[in-house]
């Protein structure tokens, strides 16, 4: 029994990591295991470690309580058990812990701080050059985004035919010089010319993704990891069951300890040629068994929703099913699933040929407000054409659109809501979207949104005893204008433009 | 037997009218009948006449064929039968006959000229002052509208609390000085203070409406007459069955001979407090029996559609059922009803407080194009606030909006379609609206509409043997730009703005 004493102090929800030398003969990824048990006053956590190459094994742990912990590392990868202890200190100012579900439909960090997800999608920003990654992080740092969806596997799709910076497995890819905008669809799944060892991970690929997860954590952004996806020419979407299981366990043992990780089992699960619901349920089992921290879990559709009622799913991760209605269906989905409704794809702002990637900034922002005022959480993406074919939606880089500039304003409106989260009011008229706080008294706060409509006034009938402060919100121009204090019956003048809202708050 | 010889020459689809003196004791509206039989080489038509006051009875007839006609007037209103003859001559240049259904989903005048309905709604433009009526007719004359919906009964509703120029019955109305914007809803249906004789028509009211129908005919506009409606404070919406029957027969005998008349049984039939489906079916029977010319017949909903599959209904007269989707459902409604889909209410362009009356000009025009490219026919209305509370939607007057200026351009696109009418193409992709001619070869004409989407290009794959002329249509700015002649696979550049269309026509 060897006693280890490094990383002596770690903050709550930080990472305590044990690195040990072990056997490296044969295939360490499959032949050996390493495990850790971490014991503190309030928890007792068993975690799986992973092989990190060069004979090194790593066991990672995210403590959820302050105080003294002891640990024990064991497994056939090492000759003898290792033990040690460390101290968990208070979290630093920007560390609020992992995101959890609150009030059925909403989110908060584990320390209770409300979390209002405003996500974006850059599928493989992490697999671009260092310069491009730096540019993406700079863009994100200056944005209002607090969640980003991206893939572990490289992506093969229109505008995405280049080679990734690295591959997840040892081996060699097919020759991509044969690909064109026209023929790329012929190269899907397990294509001729690829030669991978699905039992040997390319450790550098995963180390790099960890760097990206950490970089996002540093700027307060949740990493919504897409673990599998169908846009593939390398065969990563059609591995065998034991290869998939090995992959899932490796991903879980490497990434689980990062507090900002969310698990998205798949992007467009329903487009995989060789995977059944049984497979997805099997992966879900692996996650639930191997993630001791209960990170958020979901799975994203193309055409047909996964059954979000499944108990392992923590929140809906929806792609709209209708060209015209997306956020407008949030009420229905809340009713149906009784879980947070995250709209990870409501079409992207841009001007490419595809209908999923060519809505205007005004329409994107309208969908954002529509979703929020119905008690859901919208997601962004950008697909503006440019000469270099660098589209935010898959590469990251710079933003070119108009909607994203207006998200900070929206988040501030949400932050100014009593309690955590908005809900559709039951008193909502057919020609307005009326939001009230999810878990607070209905009478103290109302947010009316008028979407594409352009009323020049609206009438209200509140009780005669209570004073209400009225404000007119221009959601596009980001202006809030006071419109007096009223009680009983009153009328509020509006400019007769689309995208206006009215906020009415009880004067206390 | 008295021989009459006036109006000796009348044009086909014009009106031949016989005016006779008859009994005027008792109540001529109920105590006496007058009838006519009109015989030509190709038709033999029986019509009911009506009492026109001062002992005068009128029998009207619209001939559908040229040549010599003889007629016979009889009934207990006159002492003896009257006979006579007249000559039907060719129709004048602008007289194309009544509108009929063609190609299951479309319309043409009886002479075969295509009719593409672009309607508007001015519920009681006809019951305003002479000056206002003149202004409305001037506006219509300069517009692209070729159909207008309006009521025979006066209307009682928000922005419509004034007295009409006349009432349909002898008697006196309630004192309307008690009405306010707030309390008008309390005065619905049979309200205290009204005193009407539902068995005695005010002939002047009907004479005036005939003048309006004729004035519309003179400028080529179909009169879509709303015979009953629920927005009532006088009790006209809740008369007894025999009073209703009397009213229907009077309306039919007076107006049927006008070739530009359409019968709309009701506006918002489902809002009547005291009428059942049985009642509407009964009125439909009266129309079918008493209109020898088979004018178009429909009935308009508020929330719930009437069953447009009923055989007496010639076309759907739809009010949208969803705040967000209206014209987008045309495909579904065509499939369901196999009749022309007329969208008489898809919300009005304007800025009043009500959601049905505050969409923008761009959104209205989008709904128009969306409907047309799906093989339906959209309807307009305008509800812009103004100091005098004169809203086009109910009073007529002047137009203030933006969409109507762009309808002539749209009609011209429709006129340039081979055959009569557009249909949704079965090859339409999910992110475009693709129209083809209803009854012509699919390969010769395509109209692609991109609605709110803003692609910067679109790709096409036609056959390699045929040349196609490509044009880019800016539906808002009303510009058509040539984009070359192409065959096989080709790409068309677009400006990356919403509301664009592409027209592709075979070069012959």
Using alpha carbons, list the distances in angstroms from residue B234 to A484, B191, B230, B250, B277: 40, 6, 10, 19, 22
Query: How far from A19 is each of A51, A259, A269, A499, CA to CA, in Å?
Result: 10, 19, 35, 54
Query: A269-288 in b/e burial notation, b at 16+ Cβ within 10 A?
Result: bbbbeebeeebbeebbebbe
Specify the pLDDT at position A449: 98
- Tell me how far apart the alpha carbons of residues A112 and B401 are, in angstroms, rounded to a whole number: 50
3-state secondary structure B372-403: HHCCCEEEECEECCCCCCCCHHHHCCCCCCCH
Cα atoms found within 13 Å of the Cα of residue B314, Cβ hemisphere only = 18
Q: What is the Cα–Cα distance from A67 to A393, expressed in whole angstroms?
A: 42
A358 CB neighbours in chain B (<8 A) are 431, 453-456, 496
**Diameter over CA atoms, chain A:** 81
Interface predicted TM-score (ipTM) of this complex, two decimals = 0.92
CA distances from B14 to A284, A496, B90 (A): 76, 46, 10
Q: Count CA atoms closer than 13 A to A432's CA, side-chain side.
A: 23
Whether A431 sits inside 8 A of B458 (CB atoms) is no
Structure tokens that stand for A117 in this block: 């997800």
Q: Do the Cβ atoms of A121 and A379 come closer than 8 Å?
A: yes
N-terminal to C-terminal alpha carbon distance within chain A: 64
The partner residues of A342 in beta bridges, in order of sequence, read: A317, A377
Whole-angstrom Cα distance, residue A378 to residue A342? 6
Q: Residue A188's pLDDT is what?
A: 87
- The DSSP code sequence of A491-508 is EEE--S-SSEEEEEEE--
Take residue B348 and report the two structure tokens written for it.
Answer: 């009005």
Q: For residue A209, give the H/E element and its range.
A: helix A203-218
Domain B116-415 in CATH: superfamily? Glycosidases (3.20.20.80)
Which CATH class for the A115-415 domain?
Answer: alpha beta
Query: What pLDDT does B442 receive?
Result: 67
Please tell me whether residue A267 adopts helix, strand or coil conformation: coil
Gap between the Cα atoms of A232 and A223, Å rounded = 21
Interface contact B496-A431, CB threshold 8 A: no
Q: Does B9 touch chain A (CB under 8 A)?
A: no
A126 in Cβ contact with A387 (< 8 Å): no
Q: Which burial class, exposed, middle or buried, applies to A333 when counting CB atoms under 10 A from its CB (0-12, 13-18, 19+)?
A: buried
- A32 dihedral zone (left: phi>0; alpha: psi -120 to 50; beta): beta
Total-model pTM = 0.94
What's the helix, strand, coil split of chain A in %, to 5? 25, 30, 45
Which distant-in-sequence residues (6+ apart) come within 8 Å of A228 by Cβ? A153, A236, A237, A265, A266, A267, A269, A272, A275, A283
- The answer to whether the CB atoms of B456 and A351 lie below 8 A apart is yes
A vs B: CB pairs below 8 A: 83
pLDDT number for residue A2: 61
pLDDT in tens, A125-150: 999 999 999 999 999 999 999 999 99
Tell me whether the CATH fold assigned to B116-415 matches the one assigned to B427-506: no
Binary contact (B431, A354; C-beta < 8 A): yes
Tell me the two tokens of residue B54. 């001062």
What CATH number matches the domain at B2-89, 3.40.50.620, 2.60.40.10, 1.10.645.10, 3.10.150.10?
Answer: 2.60.40.10
Min Cα separation A307/chain B (Å): 24
Each domain of chain B, given as residue ranges in start order, spans 2-89, 116-415, 427-506
Cross-chain residue pair B431–A355, CB shorter than 8 Å: yes
Contact present, B168 and B202 (Cβ < 8 Å): yes
Contacts of A381 (CB under 8 A, 6+ apart): A120, A121, A122, A345, A348, A349, A350, A357, A392, A393
Q: Residues of A with CB below 8 A from B329's CB?
A: none
Tell whether A387 lies on the interface with B, counting CB pairs under 8 A: no
Q: Do B328 and A324 touch (CB under 8 A)?
A: yes
How many CB atoms are closer than 10 A to CB B125? 26
Nearest-Cα distance to chain A for B502, in Å, is: 13
Separation of alpha carbons B252 and B222, rounded Å:
16
pLDDT for res B389 = 86
- Euclidean distance between CA atoms A378 and B40, whole angstroms: 70
Find the closest chain A residue to B303 by CA distance. A430
**Cα–Cα distance, A47 to A481 (Å, whole number):** 53
Query: So what's the pLDDT on residue B330?
Result: 98
- Chain B contact present for A229, CB below 8 A: no
* A88 within 8 A of A35, measured Cβ to Cβ: no
- A271 reaches B (C-beta below 8 A): no
**Closest CA of chain B from A322, distance in Å:** 9
pLDDT in tens, chain B (508 residues): 566 556 589 999 999 999 999 999 999 999 999 999 999 999 999 999 999 999 999 999 999 999 999 999 999 999 999 999 999 999 999 999 999 999 999 999 999 999 999 999 999 999 999 999 999 999 999 999 999 999 999 999 999 999 999 999 999 999 999 998 889 989 988 889 999 999 999 999 999 999 999 999 999 999 999 999 999 999 999 999 999 999 999 999 999 999 999 999 999 999 999 999 999 999 999 999 999 999 999 999 999 999 999 999 999 999 999 999 999 999 999 999 999 999 999 999 999 999 999 999 999 999 999 999 999 999 999 999 988 889 999 999 999 999 999 999 999 999 999 999 999 999 899 999 999 999 877 689 999 999 999 999 999 999 999 999 999 999 999 999 999 999 999 999 999 999 999 999 999 8
Q: Does B495 touch chain A (CB under 8 A)?
A: no
Do the Cβ atoms of B23 and B77 come closer than 8 Å? yes
Whether residue B302 lies within 8 A of chain A, CB to CB, comes out as no
pLDDT attached to residue B54 = 96
CATH class of segment(s) B427-506: mainly beta
Residue B367 confidence (pLDDT) = 98
User: Considering chain A, what percentage of its residues have pLDDT values greater than 70?
Assistant: 98
CATH topology of domain A422-506: Immunoglobulin-like (2.60.40)
* 3 state DSSP class of A461: strand
Which residues in chain A show pLDDT less than 70?
Answer: 1-7, 442
pLDDT reported for residue A189: 87
Asked whether A307 and A280 are in contact (CB, 8 A), the reply is: no
How far apart, in whole angstroms, are the C-alpha atoms of residue B15 and residue B44?
16
């Amino acid at each position: 029994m060897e006693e280890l004493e490094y990383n002596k102090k770690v903050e709550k929800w930080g990472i305590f990591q044990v690195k040990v030398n072990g056997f490296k003969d044969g295939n360490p990824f499959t032949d050996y295991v390493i495990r850790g048990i971490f014991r503190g006053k309030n928890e007792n956590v068993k975690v799986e470690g992973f092989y990190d190459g060069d004979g090194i094994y790593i066991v990672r742990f995210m403590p959820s309580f302050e105080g003294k912990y002891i640990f024990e590392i064991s497994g056939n990868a090492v000759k003898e058990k290792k033990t040690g202890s460390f101290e968990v200190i208070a979290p630093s100012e920007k560390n609020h812990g992992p995101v959890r579900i609150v009030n059925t439909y909403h989110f908060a960090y584990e320390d209770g701080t409300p979390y209002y997800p405003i996500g974006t999608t850059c599928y493989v920003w992490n697999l671009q050059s260092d310069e491009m990654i730096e540019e993406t992080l700079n863009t994100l740092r200056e944005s209002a985004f607090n969640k980003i969806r991206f893939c572990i596997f490289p992506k093969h799709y229109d505008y995405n035919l280049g080679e990734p910076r690295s591959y997840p497995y040892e081996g060699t890819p097919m020759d991509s010089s044969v690909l064109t905008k026209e023929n790329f669809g012929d190269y899907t799944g397990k294509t001729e010319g690829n030669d991978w060892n699905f039992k040997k991970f390319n450790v550098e690929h995963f180390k790099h993704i960890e760097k990206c997860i950490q970089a996002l954590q540093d700027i307060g952004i949740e990493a919504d990891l897409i673990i599998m996806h169908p846009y593939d020419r390398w065969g990563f979407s059609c591995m065998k069951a034991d290869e998939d299981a090995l992959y899932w366990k490796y991903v879980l043992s490497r990434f689980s300890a990062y507090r900002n990780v969310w698990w998205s089992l798949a992007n467009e699960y329903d487009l995989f040629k060789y995977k059944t619901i049984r497979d997805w349920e099997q992966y879900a089992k692996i996650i639930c068994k191997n993630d001791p921290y209960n990170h958020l879990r979901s799975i994203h559709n193309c055409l047909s929703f996964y059954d979000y009622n499944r108990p392992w799913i923590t929140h809906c991760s929806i792609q709209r099913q209708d060209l015209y209605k997306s956020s407008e269906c949030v009420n229905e989905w809340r009713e149906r699933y009784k879980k947070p409704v995250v709209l990870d794809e409501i079409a992207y702002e841009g001007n490419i040929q595809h209908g999923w990637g060519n809505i205007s900034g005004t329409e994107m922002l309208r969908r954002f407000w529509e979703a929020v005022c119905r008690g859901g959480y919208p997601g962004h993406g950008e697909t503006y054409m440019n000469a270099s074919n660098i589209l935010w939606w898959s590469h990251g880089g710079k933003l070119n659109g108009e909607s994203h500039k207006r998200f900070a304003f929206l988040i501030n409106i949400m932050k100014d809501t009593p309690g955590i989260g908005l809900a559709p009011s039951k008193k909502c008229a057919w020609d307005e979207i009326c939001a009230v706080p999810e878990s607070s008294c209905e009478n103290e706060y109302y947010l009316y949104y008028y979407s594409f409509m352009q009323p020049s006034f609206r009438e209200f009938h509140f009780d005669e005893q209570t004073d209400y402060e009225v404000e007119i919100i221009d959601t596009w121009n980001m202006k809030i204008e006071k419109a007096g204090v009223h009680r009983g019956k009153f009328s509020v003048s509006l400019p007769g433009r689309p995208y206006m809202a009215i906020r009415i708050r009880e004067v206390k």
